[in-house]
Amino acid sequence: MVNEIENQNSIKVDDIFYTDRHCGIKGHYIQFFQVVDVKENNQVILREVKQILDSHNEENKAMVIPSKNQFKDSSAFIEDNNIGIVKSIEYDVNSKNNTPYIIMFPLTSKNKEPINTYLWDGQPKCHYNDLFEYINEEKI
């Protein structure tokens, strides 16, 4: 049974958070996480979901959206994506809207640098890595 608790930021089951990690020269690596349960004390349980191609932008780069309830078999942030991970909701007090976010840590990163995961605004996100293109253009 799904927990009906709602936390102070009105985060609820099925809300989506996303990472936008930079890679390469101008690349972005997008990952989506779905709230599968809401706990007391402003905590949620997240599972990583697959992404699907929504469109291409003016630079012909892939624009992706989350595929709700289509959970990935494994995650770089969640030890067992079938169970999920309990995370606390944080607040960006410097933003106008006190934006909620979650701090995630990659499982395989040697330095365990935190990655902020923000509440998805419903808009497709640019997902690409142009490092390969950049290297090949330089060789021509």
Name which of 28-32, 33-37, 117-121, 126-130 the model is least confident about.
126-130
Among candidates 51, 58, 28, which has minimal Cα distance to 127? 28
82-113 tens-digit pLDDT:
999 999 998 877 767 778 899 998 887 666 67
Expressed as residue numbers, the domain containing 94 is 16-139
Bigger pLDDT: 36 vs 42: 36
Residues 6+ apart with CB under 8 A from 42: 7, 8, 9, 88, 89
**Cβ atoms 12, 35 nearer than 8 A:** yes
- pLDDT of residue 42 exceeding 60, the answer is yes
Is 51 within the bounds of a domain? yes
Is 83 within the bounds of a domain? yes
Residue 95, CA atoms < 13 Å, CB-side half-sphere: 9
Count of structural domains within the chain: 1
Is 8 within the bounds of a domain? no
Is 35 within the bounds of a domain? yes
Is 7 within the bounds of a domain? no
Is 2 within the bounds of a domain? no
Is 129 within the bounds of a domain? yes
Predicted TM-score (pTM) of the model is: 0.81
Name which of 22-31, 57-66, 74-83 the model is least confident about.
22-31
Is 1 within the bounds of a domain? no
